[in-house]
C-alpha cells in the first residue's frame, strides 16, 4: 500500500521536477537547457543550447563583456565516457553604454550553443541525462546580480529524431551566430589608432558597423568607431588599447544593413597594410521614417533655398549690393549682363563646390570636419578679417583699385567685366561660410552621407541658390530696368554698406580673440591697421595718378605677414560662452548626455561655435531672455553646450550621427525619452514652451 | 595646423578615454576620506600605494569582503608599509553610494582595514584613472609611477570560493614593487560591476 502510494507520488512529481530542471526562473533571468533531439543517436553529435532571457531592462553578457560585466560560465556534468564539449558559441552581441562604460550585451533572449558527442556503443533506450551548472551575470543600468542554476534534461539514446519544439529553436540559434568570414581581414596601428580592414561584398547596403574584439587589450571599447568604405573593404578605425594588440586579432563584426536584419561575422585579422579611410557609408540614415531618406531632389531644393537666403546675410549682402550697383550703372548691354551673370554664377558655384569637395576629401581621409571647418583655423579668420576690412574701406571710399593692380576679387568686381564678376562670386561664396542659414544645415548634412558625385551636386546647388538673384537680373531685362537709375545716391549707399562690413570685421576680430587669445587678436588687429594704412596710401597715390605698385605690394605683404604670424595654438582651455554661463550650461560629452537621459532628465542641447554668427544671434537673443532661464530652471531642464569653435571629435561624431554638417543644432530631449530638433532660428516663446 | 587645438579639445572632451599608462606618473588627486580628512596622492610619495575601487552593493566586491580575502590583503599590504586607498565613486542616489558616516559603518561591518576610504561621489578620481569596475585595482610605486592596473585576481567571478583560491594579481604586483621588480602581469582586464558614475 505504502509502496503504491510512493509510486503514485513519484509519477505525479516526475514530470514536474524534470520540467523544473530544464528551465529555471531566476529573479532577473529565465534560463533553459535545450537539445535538438530527445532521443540522440549513439556516435553522433547532439546540438545543445542554453537560452538566457533577461527580464526587461536587464542584460546578460557576451564572452568579452566589455568594460565591465562577466561572461556566462558553464560546468557540464555528462554521462561517463562523454567528452567535454567545446566552449559555448555566442550569438552576435549588441552595444550598451552606461555612464561612459561600454557593455557587450544581450538585452533579449539569447542562446549559447555547443555540441555534445554522444559516445558510440550506447544501447538504444539507455538513459543519457544532460546536466549543466550555469553561472551568469545579469545587470540593469543600476546594479548587477550574479545568478546561477543547475539545469538537467533527461534524454534517451535512440535514433536522433529532431525534437519538434526544440530543434527549430537551435536552428534559429545557429543562424544568430556570427558567420566565419571567407576573406582575410587585416589590422594595423596608426599612432594610437587601431585600424581594421574587412573585405566584404554589398558594401553599398551597409548602414553602420561595430567591431567587438575577443581579446581585452585590442581597442578601448567605448570609443566611437569610424566606419568607412575603402574600395572593397569595410574600414573601421578607433582608439587602440594600451598596450595595443599583437599578432592575430579575433572578434565579431556586427553590420547593420539598409535592407534586412543585421549580419555578424567572426573574423580573425592579421597585422598588415590597411587602406586609407574611404567614403562614408552610403545609407547611414534612419530607415524607420517610412519614406526613408529624403530624395536627392528635395535635398537639392533645400540647398538652393539655403543659398538664396544667404544673400541677405550681413557678411554677403554688401558685396552683392555693389554688384547690383554695377549693373545699375545702366550702360550694360543685354549680352554683357548675361555674360557677367554667368561668370558670377561660375565663381560662386566653383568656390562653394571646391569648399564642399575639400570637406568630403578630408572626411574621406578620416578627418572629422564639417562645413565651415576652415574657420576653425585662426589663420583663415585672420585672412578674412583683413579681407573684410579691406572691402569695408573700399566701400567707404578710401581707395579704388584698377584691374592692373587689383588683388582683391571685390575690386576686380568693381572694374566690371566677366572676370570681375567671376571674382565677386568667388569672394561672396568664401565670405558667406560663417553665415549658415536656415535650410542649409539639413541639405549639407545630407550631402555628407551621399555618394561623392551627388554630394558635390548638393554643394553646387547651394552655390546656384546664392547666385540666383544675379542670374535673374542678368537674364531678365525687365528686372534690370526696375533697378534705380544711377546717381549721387550710389556713393552714399556704398558708404552706408561699409557699416555691416566693418561690423563683420569686428565679429571676426572677436572670434580671433576667442580662438587664440588677446595676443592673437592684437596681431590680427595690427595686421588690419597696417593693411588699412597701406590701402589709404594706395588711395592717395591713386588720386595723384602715381604708380600703385609700391602700396599695392606693401598691403599684400601685410596680409601675408598677418596670416603667417597668427598663432595657431589655443589659449589656456576652459571658458564657456556667455550664454552657457547664463543658462548654467554643462559641457557636452556623450557620456554626460547618456547619463542624463538614462535618469529621464530633460536636456536642451545646443551645438555652437564662436565663428557661427547664427549661433551667436540665438545665444544673444532668444537664449539670453531671462524668461528662458527661469522656465528651464522651473522645469528642471539641464542645458548642455557643445562648443565646436575648435575641432572636437566628440561633437563631430555627434553631428555625423544626427546628419548635420555644421552648427548650430538645437535638440530638446524630453523626460519621456523623446528627441525633438528645434529650428535654427530660436524664439524665447519656443524655448519657454518646451514641455518637461 | 589644427592638430594642437584638436588634441587639446580631445583631451578635454574625453576624460574617460584618457586611460592612465603604466610607467608614467600616476595622476595626482586630493580627496576627502571617511573621517573628513583630505588625502593627497602626492603627499604619499615614498610609499607604495594601492587604489581599490569599491561598491558595497556589488556582488563581486561582496564576494571579496564576505570571504574575508579583501580585508586579509589590506592587512597584509599595510603590514608591508603600503598605503591602501579604498575609493567609492558611486554617485549620489546610485548603488553603493556612501557619505562619511556610511563609509565608516561599511568599514566597521566588513572589519576592513584600508588606510583611507576616499569619497568620490562626483567620480572625479574614477574618471581620472578610467576606473571601470568594482573592484578595479591600481598599484603605484614609491616614486609615484603607475606599476599595475586591472583585476584584483585571476578569477573573474562573484564566488567567495574563487576569491579565496585565486592568484592575487594586485597583491603580487605590490610585492613585486616592494622587491624592486616590475609586476607580471602589469596590465590585466578589470572585472566586476561597472562603476556607478553620475550621468
Nearest to B17 among A70, A220, A596 (CB): A220
Q: A520 vs A568, B4, B67, CA distance in Å?
A: 9, 16, 62
Provide the number of structural domains found in chain A: 4
Give SS3 for A278: coil
Judging contacts by C-beta atoms under 8 Å, the chain B residues touching residue A145 are 59
CB atoms within 10 A of CB A418: 16
Pick the range with the lowest mean pLDDT from A568-582, B27-41, B69-83, B114-128.
Answer: A568-582
Which residue, A77, A55, A47, A86, is CA-closest to A166? Answer: A47
Q: Is B161 on the interface with A (CB under 8 A)?
A: no
Cα–Cα distance for residue pair A118/A158, rounded to 1 Å: 11
- Record the cell numbers describing residue A505, joined without a space: 570685421
Q: Concatenated DSSP letters for A11-61?
A: HHHHHHHHHHHHEEE-SSEEEEEEES-SSPBTTSEEEEEEEEEEPTT-BEE
Cα–Cα distance for residue pair A520/A564, rounded to 1 Å: 12
Give SS3 for B51: strand
Give SS3 for A511: helix
- Record the cell numbers describing residue A377, joined without a space: 583655423
Per-10-residue mean pLDDT for chain A, 692 residues long?
52 44 92 94 94 93 89 91 92 87 91 94 91 92 86 93 91 91 86 88 84 89 86 88 85 87 89 82 44 61 80 72 63 74 87 82 62 70 85 80 40 56 78 60 65 80 85 79 69 80 84 81 90 86 73 82 74 52 79 82 85 72 83 86 78 76 82 78 82 72
- What is the radius of gyration, based on Cα positions, of chain A? 34
Contact at CB, A648 and B13, closer than 8 angstroms: yes
Distance from CA of A588 to the nearest CA of B (A): 8
Residue A10 lies in a domain: no
**pLDDT at residue B50, rounded to an integer:** 97
Residues 6+ apart with CB under 8 A from A330: A485, A486
Q: Kindly identify which residue of chain A lies nearest to residue B197, measuring between CA atoms.
A: A99
Q: Which residues 54-83 of B are in CB contact (within 8 Å) with A?
A: 57-60
Residue B199 lies in a domain: no
Nearest to B132 among A67, A135, A599 (CB): A67
Judging contacts by C-beta atoms under 8 Å, the chain A residues touching residue B60 are 144, 146
Contact at CB, A595 and B1, closer than 8 angstroms: no
Let me know whether A143 and A72 are in one domain: yes
Cα–Cα distance for residue pair A632/A629, rounded to 1 Å: 5
Cα–Cα distance for residue pair A87/A72, rounded to 1 Å: 11
pLDDT tens for each residue of A313-349: 766 777 777 666 666 555 567 777 788 888 888 988 8
Q: Mean pLDDT over residues B21-26, rounded?
A: 87
CB atoms within 10 A of CB A62: 25
Let me know whether A549 and A421 are in one domain: yes
Q: For residue A25, with 0-12 CB atoms within 10 Å meaning exposed, 13-18 middle and 19 or more buried, which class applies?
A: exposed
Taking CA A99 as the corner, what is the angle to CA B186 and CA B92, rounded to the nearest 5 degrees? 105
Let me know whether A52 and A169 are in one domain: yes
Q: Are strands A638-643 and A586-587 parallel, antiparallel or unpaired?
A: parallel
Q: Kindly identify which residue of chain A lies nearest to residue B10, measuring between CA atoms.
A: A648
Contact at CB, B14 and A589, closer than 8 angstroms: yes
Would you call the peptide bond into A562 cis, given omega within 30 degrees of 0 as the criterion? Answer: no
Residue A6 lies in a domain: no
How crowded is the C-beta side of B98, counted as CA atoms within 13 Å? Answer: 24
Residue B66 lies in a domain: yes
**pLDDT at residue B78, rounded to an integer:** 95
Here the CATH number for the domain that contains residue A659 is 3.40.30.10
**pLDDT at residue B5, rounded to an integer:** 36
Cα–Cα distance for residue pair A21/A27, rounded to 1 Å: 16
Residue A120 lies in a domain: yes
Cα–Cα distance for residue pair A35/A489, rounded to 1 Å: 93
Rounded to the nearest 5°, which phi and psi values hold at A366? Answer: 95, 0
Provide the number of structural domains found in chain B: 1
**Helix H or strand E encompassing A505:** helix A489-544
Here the CATH number for the domain that contains residue B16 is 3.40.30.10
Which residue, A517, A507, A529, is CA-closest to A566? Answer: A517
**pLDDT at residue A194, rounded to an integer:** 92
Residue A8 lies in a domain: no
Residue B98 lies in a domain: yes
**pLDDT at residue B58, rounded to an integer:** 92
Let me know whether A529 and A546 are in one domain: yes
Q: Kindly identify which residue of chain B lies nearest to residue A648, measuring between CA atoms.
A: B9
Contact at CB, A68 and B156, closer than 8 angstroms: no
Residue B190 lies in a domain: yes
Judging contacts by C-beta atoms under 8 Å, the chain B residues touching residue A65 are 191
Which residue, A592, A587, A564, A561, is CA-closest to A574? Answer: A587
pLDDT tens for each residue of B33-47: 999 999 999 999 999
Q: Is B1 on the interface with A (CB under 8 A)?
A: yes
- Record the cell numbers describing residue B15, joined without a space: 576624460
The parent domain of residue B90 ranges over 3-194
The answer to whether the beta carbons of residues A410 and A384 sit under 8 Å apart is no
Residues 6+ apart with CB under 8 A from A661: A359, A370, A371, A441, A444, A445, A447, A448, A655
Cα–Cα distance for residue pair A611/A453, rounded to 1 Å: 29
Contact at CB, A377 and B1, closer than 8 angstroms: yes
Judging contacts by C-beta atoms under 8 Å, the chain A residues touching residue B188 are 216
Nearest to A591 among B158, B159, B199 (CB): B199
Q: Concatenated DSSP letters for B88-144?
A: E-PPTTSTT---HHHHHHHHHHHT---SEEEE-TT-HHHHHHT--EES-EEEE-TTS
Let me know whether A172 and A184 are in one domain: no
**pLDDT at residue A580, rounded to an integer:** 63
Residues 6+ apart with CB under 8 A from B175: B80
Nearest to A144 among B5, B8, B59 (CB): B59
Cα–Cα distance for residue pair A674/A692, rounded to 1 Å: 11
Here the CATH number for the domain that contains residue A251 is 2.60.40
Let me know whether A165 and A185 are in one domain: no
Q: Concatenated DSSP letters for A542-558?
A: HHHT---HHHHHHHHHH
Let me know whether A370 and A492 are in one domain: yes
Q: Kindly identify which residue of chain B lies nearest to residue A598, measuring between CA atoms.
A: B199
**pLDDT at residue B65, rounded to an integer:** 96
Pick the range with the lowest mean pLDDT from A253-267, A419-433, B84-98, B168-182.
Answer: A419-433
Tell me how far the alpha carbon of residue B14 is from its chain's centroid: 20
Residues 6+ apart with CB under 8 A from A422: A343, A344, A346, A347
Contact at CB, B1 and A568, closer than 8 angstroms: yes
Q: A261 vs A205, A320, A444, B154, CA distance in Å?
A: 12, 52, 29, 38
pTM of the full structure: 0.53
Contact at CB, A98 and B2, closer than 8 angstroms: no
Sole residue written with cell 562690413: A501
**pLDDT at residue A282, rounded to an integer:** 61
Cα–Cα distance for residue pair A643/A77, rounded to 1 Å: 59
**CB contacts < 8 A (A, B):** 128
Residues 6+ apart with CB under 8 A from A435: A310, A313, A314, A315, A316, A613, A614
Cα–Cα distance for residue pair A149/A72, rounded to 1 Å: 12
Judging contacts by C-beta atoms under 8 Å, the chain B residues touching residue A377 are 1-2
Q: Mean pLDDT over residues B54-83, rounded?
A: 95
Nearest to A222 among B16, B21, B196 (CB): B16
List own/partner pairs for A672-676 with CB under 8 A and 24 or more apart.
Answer: A672/A600, A673/A597, A673/A600
Nearest to B192 among A68, A568, A650 (CB): A68
Judging contacts by C-beta atoms under 8 Å, the chain B residues touching residue A589 are 13-15
Residue A2 lies in a domain: no
Q: B141 vs A70, A185, A473, B63, B77, CA distance in Å?
A: 30, 40, 77, 28, 13
**pLDDT at residue A564, rounded to an integer:** 80
The parent domain of residue A242 ranges over 180-280
The per-residue b/e assignment along A337-366, b for 16 or more CB within 10 angstroms, e otherwise, is bebbbbbbbbbbbbbbbbbbeebbeebbeb
Cα–Cα distance for residue pair B18/A80, rounded to 1 Å: 52
Q: Kindly identify which residue of chain B lies nearest to residue A378, measuring between CA atoms.
A: B2
Judging contacts by C-beta atoms under 8 Å, the chain B residues touching residue A67 are 132-133, 194
- Record the cell numbers describing residue B176, joined without a space: 613585486
Q: B59 vs A147, A436, A558, B55, CA distance in Å?
A: 10, 53, 69, 9
Helical pair A452-475 and A440-448, crossing angle rounded to 10 deg: 140
Q: Is B2 on the interface with A (CB under 8 A)?
A: yes
pLDDT band with cut points at 50, 70 and 90 for residue B10: very low
Let me know whether A503 and A383 are in one domain: yes
Helical pair A549-565 and A378-396, crossing angle rounded to 10 deg: 150
Q: Mean pLDDT over residues B72-86, rounded?
A: 96
Nearest to A70 among B12, B127, B191 (CB): B191
* Residue where one domain finishes, among candidates A565, A595, A619: A565
Judging contacts by C-beta atoms under 8 Å, the chain B residues touching residue A591 are 16, 197, 199
Amino acid at each position: 500500500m505504502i509502496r503504491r502510494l510512493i509510486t503514485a507520488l513519484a509519477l505525479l512529481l516526475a514530470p514536474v521536477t524534470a520540467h523544473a530542471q530544464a528551465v529555471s526562473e531566476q529573479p532577473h533571468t529565465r534560463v533553459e537547457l535545450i537539445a535538438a533531439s530527445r532521443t540522440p543517436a549513439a556516435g553522433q553529435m547532439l546540438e545543445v543550447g542554453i537560452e538566457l532571457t533577461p527580464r526587461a531592462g536587464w542584460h546578460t553578457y557576451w564572452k568579452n563583456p566589455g568594460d565591465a560585466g562577466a561572461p556566462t560560465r558553464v560546468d557540464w556534468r555528462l554521462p561517463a565516457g562523454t567528452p567535454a564539449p567545446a566552449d559555448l558559441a555566442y550569438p552576435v552581441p549588441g552595444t550598451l553604454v552606461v555612464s561612459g562604460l561600454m557593455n557587450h550585451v544581450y538585452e533579449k533572449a539569447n542562446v549559447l550553443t555547443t555540441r555534445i558527442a554522444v559516445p558510440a556503443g550506447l544501447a538504444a533506450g539507455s538513459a543519457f541525462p544532460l546536466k549543466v551548472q550555469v553561472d551568469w551575470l545579469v545587470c540593469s543600468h543600476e546594479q548587477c546580480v550574479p545568478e546561477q542554476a543547475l539545469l538537467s534534461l533527461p534524454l534517451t539514446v535512440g535514433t536522433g529524431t529532431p525534437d519538434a519544439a526544440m530543434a527549430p529553436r537551435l536552428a534559429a540559434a545557429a543562424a544568430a551566430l556570427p558567420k566565419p568570414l571567407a576573406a582575410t581581414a587585416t589590422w594595423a596601428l596608426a599612432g594610437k589608432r587601431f585600424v581594421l580592414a574587412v573585405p566584404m561584398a554589398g558594401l553599398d547596403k551597409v548602414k553602420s558597423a561595430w567591431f567587438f574584439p575577443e581579446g581585452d587589450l585590442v581597442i578601448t571599447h567605448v570609443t566611437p568607431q569610424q566606419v568607412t568604405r575603402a574600395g572593397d573593404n569595410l574600414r573601421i578605425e578607433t582608439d587602440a588599447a594600451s598596450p595595443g594588440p599583437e599578432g592575430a586579432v579575433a572578434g565579431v563584426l556586427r553590420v547593420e544593413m539598409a535592407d534586412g536584419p543585421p549580419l555578424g561575422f567572426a573574423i580573425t585579422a592579421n597585422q598588415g597594410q590597411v587602406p586609407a579611410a574611404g567614403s562614408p557609408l552610403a545609407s547611414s540614415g534612419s530607415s524607420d521614417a517610412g519614406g526613408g531618406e529624403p530624395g536627392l531632389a528635395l535635398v537639392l531644393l533645400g540647398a538652393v533655398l539655403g543659398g538664396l537666403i544667404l544673400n541677405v546675410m550681413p557678411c554677403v549682402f554688401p558685396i552683392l549690393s555693389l554688384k547690383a550697383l554695377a549693373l545699375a550703372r545702366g550702360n550694360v548691354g543685354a549680352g554683357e549682363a548675361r555674360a557677367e551673370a554667368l561668370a558670377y554664377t561660375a565663381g560662386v558655384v566653383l568656390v562653394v563646390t571646391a569648399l564642399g569637395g575639400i570637406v568630403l576629401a578630408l572626411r574621406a581621409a578620416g578627418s572629422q570636419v564639417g562645413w565651415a571647418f576652415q574657420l576653425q583655423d585662426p589663420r583663415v579668420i585672420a585672412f578674412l578679417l583683413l579681407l573684410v576690412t579691406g572691402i569695408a574701406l573700399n566701400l567707404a571710399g578710401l581707395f579704388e583699385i584698377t584691374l592692373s593692380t587689383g588683388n582683391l576679387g571685390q575690386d576686380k568686381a568693381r572694374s566690371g567685366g566677366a572676370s570681375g564678376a567671376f571674382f565677386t562670386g568667388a569672394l561672396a561664396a568664401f565670405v558667406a561660410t560663417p553665415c549658415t542659414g536656415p535650410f542649409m544645415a539639413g541639405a549639407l548634412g545630407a550631402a555628407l552621407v551621399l555618394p561623392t558625385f551627388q554630394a558635390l551636386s548638393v554643394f553646387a546647388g547651394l552655390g546656384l541658390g546664392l547666385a540666383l538673384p544675379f542670374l535673374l537680373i542678368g537674364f531678365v531685362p525687365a528686372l534690370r530696368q526696375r533697378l534705380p537709375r544711377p546717381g549721387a545716391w550710389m556713393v552714399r549707399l556704398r558708404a552706408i554698406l561699409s557699416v555691416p562690413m566693418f561690423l563683420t570685421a569686428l565679429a571676426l576680430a572677436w572670434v580671433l580673440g576667442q580662438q587664440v587669445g588677446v595676443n592673437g587678436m592684437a596681431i590680427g588687429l595690427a595686421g588690419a591697421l597696417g593693411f588699412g594704412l597701406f590701402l589709404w596710401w594706395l588711395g592717395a597715390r591713386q588720386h595723384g595718378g602715381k604708380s600703385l605698385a609700391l602700396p599695392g605690394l606693401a598691403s599684400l605683404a601685410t596680409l601675408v605677414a598677418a596670416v603667417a604670424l597668427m598663432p595657431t595654438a589655443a589659449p589656456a582651455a576652459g571658458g564657456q560662452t556667455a550664454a552657457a554661463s547664463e543658462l548654467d550650461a554643462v559641457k557636452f560629452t556623450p557620456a554626460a548626455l547618456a547619463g542624463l537621459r538614462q535618469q529621464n532628465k530633460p536636456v536642451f542641447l545646443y551645438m555652437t561655435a564662436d565663428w557661427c554668427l547664427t549661433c551667436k544671434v540665438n545665444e544673444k537673443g532668444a537664449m539670453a531672455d531671462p524668461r528662458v532661464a527661469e522656465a528651464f530652471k522651473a522645469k528642471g531642464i539641464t542645458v548642455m553646450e557643445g562648443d565646436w569653435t575648435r575641432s572636437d571629435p566628440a561633437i563631430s561624431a555627434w553631428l555625423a550621427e544626427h546628419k548635420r554638417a555644421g552648427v548650430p543644432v538645437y535638440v530638446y530631449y524630453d523626460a519621456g525619452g523623446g528627441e525633438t530638433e528645434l529650428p535654427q532660428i530660436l524664439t524665447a516663446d519656443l524655448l519657454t514652451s518646451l514641455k518637461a | 595646423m589644427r592638430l594642437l587645438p584638436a588634441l587639446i579639445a580631445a583631451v578635454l572632451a574625453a576624460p574617460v578615454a584618457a586611460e592612465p599608462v603604466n610607467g608614467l606618473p600616476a595622476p595626482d588627486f586630493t580627496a576627502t576620506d571617511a573621517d573628513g580628512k583630505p588625502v593627497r596622492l602626492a603627499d604619499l610619495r615614498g610609499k607604495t600605494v594601492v587604489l581599490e575601487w569599491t561598491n558595497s552593493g556589488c556582488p563581486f566586491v561582496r564576494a571579496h569582503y564576505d570571504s574575508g580575502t579583501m580585508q586579509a590583503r589590506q592587512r597584509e599590504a599595510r603590514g608591508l608599509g603600503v598605503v591602501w586607498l579604498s575609493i567609492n565613486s558611486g554617485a549620489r542616489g546610485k548603488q553603493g553610494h556612501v557619505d562619511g558616516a556610511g563609509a565608516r559603518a561599511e568599514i566597521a561591518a566588513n572589519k576592513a582595514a584600508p588606510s583611507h576610504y576616499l569619497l568620490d561621489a562626483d567620480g572625479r578620481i574614477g574618471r581620472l584613472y578610467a576606473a571601470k569596475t568594482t573592484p578595479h585595482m591600481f598599484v603605484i610605486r614609491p616614486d609615484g609611477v603607475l606599476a599595475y592596473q586591472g583585476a584584483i585576481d585571476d578569477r573573474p567571478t562573484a564566488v567567495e570560493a574563487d576569491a579565496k583560491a585565486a592568484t592575487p594579481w594586485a597583491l603580487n604586483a605590490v610585492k613585486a614593487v616592494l622587491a624592486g621588480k616590475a609586476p607580471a602581469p602589469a596590465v590585466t582586464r578589470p572585472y566586476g560591476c561597472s562603476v556607478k558614475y553620475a550621468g
